Amino acid sequence: MHPYVLVLLSGVVLASLLYFVQLKKCGLNPWAALAAMALGSGLGLVCAKAGYCLLLPGVTLGRYGVSALFRGDFTEFSFVAGAAGVCLGAALGARLCRLPVSRAMNAFAPALALLAAAARFGEYFLEWVGYGKYVDQPWQQFFPLSVESPYGGWYTAVFMLEGFSALALAVVLEILDRRGGKCLFARCVFYLALPQIFWESLRALAMKWGFVRVEQVLCGVIVTAVIAWHCLKAARGGVRRFLPVGGMLLCIAVMVGVEFALDKTNISYLICYGVMILALLGMAALEIYSVRRRKA
């Protein structure tokens, strides 16, 4: 069995145990975690593959036909679509076990972040997947900041940075849960997708439409949809309650400009990524504001 698959299966087991504990703590049937993770794993795999083929039909279905859906190349899976499949499986598992889906998905949030971390850490065993730019400074050539390729040379270990950010999110969600935090699942989805916009820009290999990085676009849609959901659930404010959505769209427009500048101009990477980070911080501030207003 491929080492990546072993790491992923280990992540599924650990996430299942964490979900089991979370459900038990919430007074819900903890054994529902098994059904949720079984369905989530299956749907995650299917959605990851189908999502990749449907999002890049020209290089998949157009080249290989229907057999593209059964190719085992690890570079031909969509992480975002796979995560969506896992969430769908968890929700179906909760429904089948007659659990309140909203409460069950909030309990699932830390497990989802933990599983995402395992999926990213496992990319260590996939050549070139998750690599960033070439690292030529000797003081930067150390793991986990960078990784040596099988053919020599050091490259930024973007997959490790992604894994650490997801793992940190799992810890934060667990702390928020103990403090009685609300909207944990929505916040988990938001903060898995938000930094991924940045990490995706650093990846050398990515799903692309021209210079547009597909999973960046998906993450932008996801974070905006989460904010729109919070605004919809706000008790008052009329049309003005959707102003944060406008702010999100403005930040996304800024990041589109940054990606264009990175691909088509000679503007310094430091300046471009500095602007992108500021836009991401602005989006995080809008999320915090929207959650607080929804609670109020």
Q: Is the pLDDT of residue 237 over 70?
A: no
For 100, list phi and psi in degrees, rounded to 5.
-65, 115
Residue 147: pLDDT band (50, 70, 90) is very high
Q: According to the model, what pLDDT value does residue 171 have?
A: 96
Looking at residue 212, its pLDDT comes to: 86
CA atoms within 13 A on the CB side of 144: 13
Q: What pLDDT does residue 229 have?
A: 93
Task: Identify which of 119, 152, 153 has the alpha carbon closest to the alpha carbon of residue 45.
Answer: 119
State the pLDDT at residue 238: 73
Helix axes 101-121, 32-55, angle to 10 degrees: 60
Q: Is the pLDDT of residue 222 over 70?
A: yes
Q: Which are the contacts of 260, defined by CB distance < 8 A and separation ≥ 6?
A: 211
pLDDT above 80 for 180: no
Type and span of the H or E element at 147: strand 146-148
- Residue 111: is its pLDDT beyond 90? yes
Q: Which residue has the higher pLDDT, 294 or 275?
A: 275
What's the rounded Cα separation, in Å, for the pair 240 and 56? 38
Q: 20-79, pLDDT tens digit by residue? A: 999 999 899 999 999 999 999 999 999 999 999 999 998 888 888 888 898 888 889 999
Residue type, 75: T
Q: Rounded to an integer, what distance in angstroms lies between the CA atom of residue 289 and that of residue 143?
A: 37
Strands 146-148 and 154-157: antiparallel
Of 41-55, 132-146, 156-170, 184-198, the range with the lowest mean pLDDT is 132-146
- Band of pLDDT at residue 96, cut at 50, 70 and 90: very high
Supply the pLDDT for residue 264.
Answer: 85
Region 112-130: mean pLDDT is 94
Mean predicted lDDT score pLDDT of the chain: 92
- Sheet of 154-157: strand order equals 131-135, 154-157, 146-148
Q: Please say whether the beta carbons of 195 and 166 come within 8 A.
A: no
> Residue 135: is its pLDDT beyond 70?
yes
CB 44 within 8 A of CB 79: no
Q: What is the dihedral of CA 39, 45, 50, 56, to 10 degrees?
A: 150
Residue-level pLDDT at 193 = 97
pLDDT of residue 53: 94
Q: Cβ–Cβ contacts within 10 Å for residue 100, how many?
A: 12
Cite the beta strand spans of the chain per DSSP E: 131-135, 146-148, 154-157, 208-209, 212-213
- Half-sphere exposure at residue 267, Cβ-oriented, CA atoms within 13 angstroms: 15
61 DSSP β-pair partners: none
